[in-house]
């Protein structure tokens, strides 16, 4: 069992307590704003949306992030945590954007009543977005790895 200095323990406890109080205050503010600005007849739709967001997170986003981390770790070498975080962040951004765009693709496939409502090629733009995410993530990973290699080589030549 590792002992933490008493001052550090008190600071962590105080910060944690402050964050809990702040969180409770925000929940209270949200409840107040909800009761003052949303009609009670719309609570059902709001509840469905909130439950749907929890289900989407737990059934789609979280498993994809775990799969991305496992895929990165299966490369056979030790992968830095920063690389895993970059890939996971890219997956989260891509999945969230996909979930935003898919309803538009479905509505467009059904044929809108007004052609000006969904005027773009959303499927094509979604594909381009994924390509951009993959390229930017790859560039960020390469930049990080090059930078860490340079730092390591600089440290090794400084010690000689």
Joined together, the tokens standing for residue 113 give 């009543």
Per-residue model confidence (pLDDT) at position 6: 55
Per-residue model confidence (pLDDT) at position 23: 95
Contact 119, 104 (CB under 8 A): no
Give CA–CA dist 103/61, Å, rounded: 17
Classify residue 91 as exposed, middle or buried by CB count within 10 Å of its CB (0-12, 13-18, 19+). buried
Give CA–CA dist 37/53, Å, rounded: 21
Per-residue model confidence (pLDDT) at position 7: 55
Per-residue model confidence (pLDDT) at position 18: 96
Domain ranges of the chain: 55-159
Q: What are the mean pLDDT values of the chain's consecutive 10-residue runs (160 residues total)?
A: 60 93 96 92 89 90 88 78 90 91 88 80 94 97 92 72
DSSP at 17 = H
Give CA–CA dist 130/99, Å, rounded: 13
Backbone angles phi, psi at 38, to 5 degrees: -110, 130
Give CA–CA dist 157/159, Å, rounded: 5
Per-residue model confidence (pLDDT) at position 159: 65
The overall pTM is greater than 0.85: no
Per-residue model confidence (pLDDT) at position 2: 54
């Amino acid at each position: 069992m590792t002992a933490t200095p008493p001052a550090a323990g008190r600071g962590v406890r105080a910060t944690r307590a402050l964050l809990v109080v702040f969180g409770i205050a925000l929940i209270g503010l949200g409840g107040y704003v909800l009761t003052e600005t949303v009609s009670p007849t719309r609570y059902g739709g709001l509840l469905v949306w909130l439950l749907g967001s929890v289900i989407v997170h737990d059934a789609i986003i979280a498993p994809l992030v775990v799969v991305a981390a496992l895929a990165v770790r299966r490369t056979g070498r030790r992968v830095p945590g920063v690389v895993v975080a970059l890939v996971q962040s890219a997956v989260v951004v891509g999945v969230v954007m996909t979930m935003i765009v898919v309803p538009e693709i479905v509505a467009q496939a059904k044929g809108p009543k007004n052609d000006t409502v969904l005027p773009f090629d959303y499927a094509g733009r979604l594909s381009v977005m994924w390509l951009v995410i993959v390229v930017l993530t790859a560039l960020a990973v390469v930049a990080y790895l090059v930078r860490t290699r340079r730092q390591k080589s600089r440290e090794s030549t400084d010690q000689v």
